[in-house]
Amino acid sequence: MRLPMPLTVRVDVKTERLLQRLARKRGRTKSEVIRDAIGVLAKEVEAQEVAERPYDQVRDLIGSVQGGPADLSVRTGAAFRRMLAGRRRKA
């Protein structure tokens, strides 16, 4: 069995009070609370790394729509100007 590695962690007063309160409520040492918190954080990070990217979630939809003008994103400025000009005329 390996002995724990000594480690010094500097925290502000607010964090120290929170750590003391958590340790007292759980009946554990501050070191145990910190080790548990690191374990939880490590699991969260691993879960995020495994999670799909937004692209992966919609990749089957990309390119699946047929029809419509192919240059919609190219002509947005012109369409917006026409829309604004039409509003000015109505006002």
- Condensed to tens digits (0 to 9), the pLDDT of residues 5-28 reads 888 999 999 999 999 999 999 999
The stretch 30-55 carries a mean pLDDT of: 87
The full set of domain ranges for the chain reads: 9-52
Range ranked top by mean pLDDT from 5-19, 39-53, 58-72: 5-19
**Rounded to 5, what percent of the chain is helix, strand, coil?**
60, 0, 40
Angle among Cα 43, 13, 11 to the nearest 5 degrees reads: 45
Averaged pLDDT for residues 53-79:
76
**Quick check: 31 pLDDT over 80?**
yes
The amino acid at 53: R
Rounded CA separation 91/88 (Å): 5
Residue 75 has φ and ψ, to the nearest 5°, of -100, 20
Tell me what the mean pLDDT of segment 80-86 comes to: 85
Question: 54-64 burial, b if ≥16 CB within 10 A, otherwise e?
Answer: eeeeeeeeeee
Confidence band (pLDDT; 50, 70, 90) for 1? low
